[in-house]
Amino acid sequence: MVDSALHSLVCTAQFQADQALLHLGRRLLAAGYRFVTPTPLTQQRVNARAQNRLASDLRGVFGWSRPFTEQLLDAAELAELEQAGIVDKQDGHWRSTVRWSSLGTLLLAHSAFPTDEPDAVFFGPDSYRFASLIEEHLRQRFAPVRRAVDIGCGTGVGALLVAKARPAAEVLAVDINPKALRLSAINAELAEAHNLRVYHSNVLESVDGRFDLILANPPYMHDSQRRTYRHGGGALGEQLSLRILAEALPRLRRDGSLLLYTGVAMVAGEDPFLGAARTLLAGDAYGWTYRELDPDVFGEELEKTGYEQVERIAVVALTVTRLR
C-alpha cells in the first residue's frame, strides 16, 4: 500500500510538472518567442560576452540558458516553475533547466545548456539539418505514409514533422531515454500532433510491424562521458548508425523508405560507414542514395582522445527504399 501511494504521488507530481512545462510553452508561443539554437561552441562564446552575464529577456532565459533575476518573471509564475523543477536557484541567481527552440512554426523543449547530464536531450544545428532532410523527402515522396517511426527521437522533431505533414498517418517516436520521451510527448501536445505516440524502445525492439517511413538521427560521436545523445558506440561513434540500418531494413514495407542522418569520422580519405553500409545493402532488394550534407563539423572533437587518425567529421544522409 505504501509503495502504491508513493507511486501515485510521483505520477501526480510528474503530471503537474509536465502541465507546467506545457503551459510555459503555450505562453512563449503566444508571446511570439523565437530562438534558433546554435552549436555549443557558439553558445559558449556568445554567453561569455560581458553584456550577456545575465538574461534580460525570455530568449536569454529559455534560449541562451543565462542566469536571471527574479524580477524578470512574475512571482506566481516563478513559484510555479520552481515547484515543477523548470527553474532553480544557483549562486544567487535563477536558471532554467530547459530550453525552448524554434523550428518553423514548432516550439520544442529540450535540455538547458550546457548539456552535461548523461540523459540530456539535445537540439541544435544537426536537428535543423535533419528537419530539412525530412521535409525534402516528404515533398518528393509520392507513396503514402500510413505508418512511420522516429528512432532515437530526442525532442521528437522528426516524428513531429511527419505527424504534421501526414495527419492520417500513425507516427511513433521511440527512444531509450525517458527524459526524451517525456519532452517529445510535451512537444507533440504543444504542436497538437494528435497522431503521434511515444514508446520506450531500444531501436525497434519494443515496437511491432513494418513501416512506410523510418527516420533516425542517432548520436555519432565517440563520447568519453557516454552521454546518450552523443555516444554512438564503436571505435568512432559509428556502431549505433550501423545497427539502426541493419534492424530497419527488414522492417520496411515495400516502397517504404529509411532516412538516416548521421555523422562519419573520415580516416585516411576513406568513409568507413559507407563501406559497411554497402555490405548491408548489397543485392537488388533496395535502392539507395548517399550524400555528404556538410563535409566538416565539430572540428574541436579532433583534439580529443580517440580521434588521432581522423581527418574530419562529415554529416551524411543515407536514403534507402525497399523495392520488393
Task: Please report the pLDDT score of residue 1 as a whole number.
Answer: 39
- Same structural domain for residues 157 and 55? no
pLDDT, one tens digit per residue, over 25-42 is 999 999 999 999 999 999
Tell me the angle at which helices 157-165 and 125-140 cross, rounded to the nearest 10 degrees. Answer: 30
* Same domain, yes or no: 161 and 225: yes
Instruction: With residue 286 as reference, give the H or E element that holds it.
Output: strand 286-294
Q: Domain for residue 110, yes or no? A: no
* DSSP annotation of 91: T
190-216: pLDDT as tens digits: 999 999 999 999 999 999 999 999 999
Q: Given 77, 96, 115, which residue is the final one in a domain?
A: 96
Are residues 28 and 157 both part of a single domain? no
**pLDDT (tens digit, 9 = 90+) per residue, 230-260?**
888 888 889 999 999 999 999 999 999 999 9
| Statement to judge: residues 65 and 166 lie in one domain | no
Query: Are 188 and 306 contained in the same domain?
Result: yes
Question: Where does 132-242 show beta strands of DSSP type E?
Answer: 147-151, 170-175, 196-200, 211-216
- For residue 219, pLDDT beyond 60: yes
pLDDT attached to residue 256? 97
Is there a single domain that holds both residue 13 and residue 89?
A: yes
Residue 6 clears pLDDT 50, i.e. is over it: no
pLDDT digits (tens, 9 = 90+) for 252-288: 999 999 999 999 999 999 999 999 999 999 999 999 9
Averaged pLDDT, 179-190: 97
Last residue of a domain, one of 96, 112, 144: 96
- On whether residue 107 sits in a domain, the answer given is no
Q: Is residue 116 a part of any domain in this protein?
A: no
Give the pLDDT band of residue 293 (cuts 50, 70, 90). very high
CB within 8 Å of 101: residues ≥ 6 apart: 35, 36, 37, 63, 107, 108, 110, 123, 127
- Residue 281, in any domain of the structure: yes
- Residue 12 pLDDT exceeds 90: no
- Do 90 and 155 sit in the same domain of this protein? no
The answer to whether residues 162 and 136 touch, using CB atoms and an 8 Å cutoff, is no
**pLDDT interval class at 3 (50, 70, 90):** low
Quick one: pLDDT band at residue 225, thresholds 50, 70, 90? confident
Same domain, 303 and 209: yes
Number of domains in the chain: 2
| 42 occurs within a structural domain | yes
Q: Assess whether 171 and 260 both reside in one domain.
A: yes
109: in domain: no
Same domain, 301 and 152: yes
Structural domain boundaries, residue 284: 125-322
**Model confidence at 115: pLDDT above 70:** yes
Residue 102: inside a domain: no
Q: Specify the CATH number for the domain of residue 221.
A: 3.40.50.150
* Domain match, 205 and 83 both: no
Same domain, 192 and 240: yes
| Domain contains 141 | yes
List, for residues 51-96, the tens digit of each pLDDT value: 999 999 999 999 999 999 999 999 999 999 999 999 999 889 999 9
* 110: its cell numbers: 529540450
Q: Do 259 and 216 contact (CB within 8 A), yes or no? A: yes
Domain boundary among 96, 111, 133: 96
The rounded Cα 228 to chain-centroid distance in angstroms is 11
Q: Report pLDDT for 141.
A: 87
**Confidence (pLDDT) at 235:** 84
Q: How many CB atoms lie within 10 A of CB 8?
A: 10
Task: For the chain, give the mean pLDDT.
Answer: 94
Report the pLDDT averaged over residues 93-117.
97
Percent of the chain residues past pLDDT 90, beyond the cut: 88
